[in-house]
Amino acid sequence: MATNRTVQLRVNGVEHEGTVEVRKTLSDFLREDLGLCGTNIGCEHGVCGACTVLMNGETVRSCLLLAVQADGMELMTVEGLASPTGELHPIQEAFREKHGLQCGFCTPGFLVTTYKLLQSNPNPSLDEIKEWLAGHLCRCTGYEDILESVKLAAARLRGESDAPQPLPKSS
């Protein structure tokens, strides 16, 4: 039985193919083989949420999947949020403005889950936001600011005219 396999998958709209050892986790594959280091690896047993990505539209822990299991799947990592020209996604804008991060280690997971939450529920209650984000740990005690960030992002994505406008770009 071969210990290596070829996998083909689509990440952030780009087709990738690679040969991996079957025991390699998806999170390591994304970082080491595809160079997508935005996905951070924290606890490696599914508790911290830093490695969360979308697979076929659902949030998953990439540390709890083998790369071979993602063969044929469609993924989105945090790198898929900003536009190809580097314009931040409204969720990222909101996290920046509301100080939804300090060290930033947990942020990729929070952003990906927020993206999925707002896609399925554009107007979540505070409790719903908390329930979705409970699967993520932030050790810089930034939870209040993270909740503010998600609320702001939600308001802007709903196109509410009274939502505070994004800060002007620094030149």
Question: Which residues sit at the interface with other proteins, rule CB under 8 A?
Answer: 1, 3, 5, 21-25, 28, 44-46, 49, 52, 58-61, 63-66, 68-69, 113, 116, 130-132, 134-135
> What's the min distance (Å) between Cβ of 132 and other proteins?
6
Sheet holding 74-76, edge to edge: 14-21, 4-11, 74-76, 52-55, 58-61
> What's the min distance (Å) between Cβ of 10 and other proteins?
18
Residue closer to other proteins by CB (options 64, 82) is: 64
Q: Phi-psi category of 104—alpha, beta or left, where left has phi over 0 and alpha has psi -120 to 50?
A: left
> What's the min distance (Å) between Cβ of 101 and other proteins?
19
DSSP structural state of residue 39: S
d(CA 136, CA 50): 7
- φ and ψ at residue 44, rounded to 5 degrees: 60, 20
Residue closer to other proteins by CB (options 69, 102) is: 69
> What's the min distance (Å) between Cβ of 21 and other proteins?
7
Residue closer to other proteins by CB (options 65, 93) is: 65
d(CA 98, CA 55): 28
Residue closer to other proteins by CB (options 59, 93) is: 59
Count the neighbouring beta carbons within 10 Å of the beta carbon of residue 47. 13
